[in-house]
Amino acid sequence: MLLAIDVGNTQTVFGVYREGLLRHRWRVATNKHHTSDELRVKLAPLLASEGIETSDLAGVALASVVPQLTEAWRTAAVRMTGREALVCSAETAGALFATGYPNPREIGADRVADAVAAKALYGAPVVVVDFGTATNIEVIDAEGRFAGGVIAPGVETSAQALFSRATKLGAIDLVDPHTAIGSNTEQAIQAGIVYGEADRVDGLVRRIFDQLGYRAPVVATGGLAPRVAAQSRTITATNPELTLEGLRLVYEAAEGREGRSEEATT
């Protein structure tokens, strides 16, 4: 079994793959102060709930945007499986991730995994919109190369900033208000945040299409993707497992490269 871990600033998503298929998936809050021991204690009950022991795991694929947790999870992976985790990056993705980006090392692991999975599943060109702590837009051009993208404040990040600075506005559920003209404060906030995010994404995607000179499928992923994608006029598909799929593909490609390298030395 393969354990895929997508560590975001706000949430961490775990996925267990067996024979190339995602069998189990969990989403938990990210705690940036957890040690490797605490991470293993946090993960073990989730695995146990599905009858899985850490000894059943053959490998770990990791995408992390939190440096201190990257190291903690690497240590935890060795203790759980006896093997180093495959840490996703532009480098470890190898031929799966072609780019003309001036400095590929600065591309976040989640962005690499999203781009790899989107190209494999939807072809090229393709655009990914990842709704997380930040709203990331990744652009894979018609030649299958990662061209770059957009990084903007995420839905909940923007909402929290509003609630913390506007003392008379309380936190609300970020759902479709079914009206663009709010008849109360709650509806007005929901329209501004949910519809505003959808329209912002649509506007950015149209600018991307104009710059590319052609249109492309647009795939939404991330925790809030279903809510916002439903209001978008440019998003054509929603795939909550996109990042995990990218991690699986990068891991399997790296395992293949390692196997070929071992054969060449024997």
Q: Is 233 exposed, middle or buried (0-12, 13-18, 19+ CB in 10 A)?
A: exposed
Q: Is 146 exposed, middle or buried (0-12, 13-18, 19+ CB in 10 A)?
A: buried
Q: Which of the residues 37, 56, 110, 173 is marked catalytic?
A: 110
Pairing of the two strands 134-140 and 126-131 = antiparallel
**In angstroms, rounded to a whole number, what is the distance separating the alpha carbons of residues 177 and 191?**
6
Q: Does 110 participate in catalysis according to the annotation? A: yes
Could you identify the residue written with the tokens 């663009």? 180
Q: Is 163 exposed, middle or buried (0-12, 13-18, 19+ CB in 10 A)?
A: middle
**In angstroms, rounded to a whole number, what is the distance separating the alpha carbons of residues 259 and 124?**
28
Strand partners for 153: 134
Give the active site residues: 110
